């Protein structure tokens, strides 16, 4: 290869290299891409673009500062939206809470919500399905049997015509399967916690307009027809449970966002 050709190649390489964008220009372009992406509604990608500026072009002080300011703006917008949603959630909770009695006994770690029509003192001599809800949004049901003879039931099945669902079984030996008696009257209470309701709560809530029946399954079968207010209790408790869980999630997100922006 001649000297002139070598010189030409060397000169061309320098020219091409010098014509490429500078790190400052690439940083500016990446910030603009973050703005464009955010305007299209992709918050996650916009934040990734912004964060990459500090990683790739950290020596460009002005662009790094611009990226950080835009990052704060994004988190500020997210914070505003979540706070707005929390206000709405709190308003809805206040409305639904009117249907419940709240209490916290020395035996309760969390505040309990009791559907007003399911107050145990009013139902002591009835067989029914009760919904239990606490301030965390934790939800479960219990089957309460009242009668002259032991049923020793371990599960329940709820049904109407060709639709049905059944809880998991809670053994008689379990502390969640409680028995008591007084003056030859028997009481049994089986609690289906930690998902042992097996979807019964949602089934009742979704089919509250139907004439649902339940069978208590033990040494024999015992049938009841669900009262309208018991079905409504499941429906309202499920709504309140979701609202309470969303409230807790939003409050956590808002705290984290405020810490990020400080």
Residue among 117, 124, 114 at smallest CA distance from 237: 114
Say if residue 203's pLDDT is above 70: yes
Q: How confident is the model at residue 2 (pLDDT cuts 50, 70, 90)?
A: low
CA distance 130 to 144: 7
How confident is the prediction for the chain on average, in pLDDT? 89
Cβ neighbourhood burial of 161 (10 Å; 0-12, 13-18, 19+):
exposed
Decide: 57 and 26 in contact? Cβ < 8 Å: yes
Residue 24 C-beta-side C-alpha neighbours within 13 Å = 3
Mean pLDDT of 187-198: 97
User: Cα-flanking dihedrals φ and ψ of residue 32, to 5°?
Assistant: -65, -40
CA distance 255 to 83: 10
Say if residue 15's pLDDT is above 70: no
Which residues does 60 contact at the CB level (< 8 Å), separation at least 6?
A: 23, 24, 27, 53
- Dump pLDDT digits (tens) for 87-109: 999 999 999 999 999 998 888 89
Q: How confident is the model at residue 11, as a pLDDT?
A: 44
Q: Over pLDDT 70: what percentage of the chain?
A: 92
DSSP string, 152-202: ---EEEEEETTEEEEPPP--TTSTTEEEEEETTEEEEEEEE-TTTTTTHHH
- Dump pLDDT digits (tens) for 28-54: 788 888 888 888 988 889 888 888 877
CA distance 199 to 222: 21
Q: What is the DSSP letter of 210?
A: S
Q: How confident is the model at residue 193 (pLDDT cuts 50, 70, 90)?
A: very high
Q: Over pLDDT 90: what percentage of the chain?
A: 62
Which residues does 200 contact at the CB level (< 8 Å), separation at least 6?
A: 129, 141, 156, 158, 165, 166, 167, 192
Decide: 229 and 118 in contact? Cβ < 8 Å: yes
What's the pTM value of the predicted model, to 2 decimals? 0.82
When mean pLDDT is compared across 3-7, 58-62, 206-210, the lowest value belongs to 3-7
Percent helix, strand and coil across the chain, each to the nearest 5: 50, 20, 25
Question: Could you identify the residue written with the tokens 């992406």?
Answer: 37
Q: How confident is the model at residue 128, as a pLDDT?
A: 96
Tokens of 139: 């939800």
DSSP string, 105-154: -TT-SS-EEEEGGG-GGGSTTS-EEEEEEETT--EEEEEEEEESS-----
Q: How confident is the model at residue 19, as a pLDDT?
A: 54
- Dump pLDDT digits (tens) for 146-186: 999 999 999 999 999 999 999 999 999 999 999 999 888 99
Say if residue 235's pLDDT is above 60: yes
Range 99-250 has CATH code 2.30.29: no
Give every strand in the sheet of 128-134, ordered side by side.
100-103, 112-115, 128-134, 139-147, 185-192, 177-182
Mean pLDDT of 120-124: 76
């Amino acid at each position: 290869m001649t000297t002139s050709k070598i010189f030409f190649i060397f000169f061309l390489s320098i020219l091409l290299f010098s014509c490429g964008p500078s790190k400052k220009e690439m940083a500016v372009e990446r910030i603009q891409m973050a703005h464009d992406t955010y305007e299209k509604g992709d918050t996650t990608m916009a934040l990734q673009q912004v964060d990459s500026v500090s990683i790739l072009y950290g020596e460009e002080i002005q662009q790094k500062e611009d990226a950080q300011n835009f990052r704060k703006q994004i988190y500020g917008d997210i914070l505003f939206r979540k706070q707005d949603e929390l206000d709405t959630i709190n308003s809805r909770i206040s409305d639904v809470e009117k249907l419940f009695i709240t209490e916290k006994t020395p035996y309760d770690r969390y505040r309990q919500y009791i559907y007003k029509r399911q107050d145990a003192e009013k139902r002591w001599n009835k067989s029914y399905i009760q919904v239990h809800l606490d301030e965390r949004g934790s939800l479960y049901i219990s089957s309460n049997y009242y009668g002259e003879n032991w049923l020793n039931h371990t599960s329940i099945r709820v049904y109407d015509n060709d639709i049905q669902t059944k809880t998991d079984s809670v053994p008689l030996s379990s502390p969640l399967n409680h028995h008591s008696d007084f003056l030859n009257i028997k009481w049994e209470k089986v609690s289906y916690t930690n998902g042992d309701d097996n979807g019964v709560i949602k089934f009742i809530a979704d089919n509250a307009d139907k004439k649902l029946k339940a069978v208590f399954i033990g040494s024999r079968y015992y049938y009841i027809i669900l009262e309208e207010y018991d079905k409504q209790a499941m429906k309202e408790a499920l709504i309140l449970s979701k609202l309470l869980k969303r409230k807790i999630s939003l409050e956590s997100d808002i705290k984290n966002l405020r810490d990020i922006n400080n």
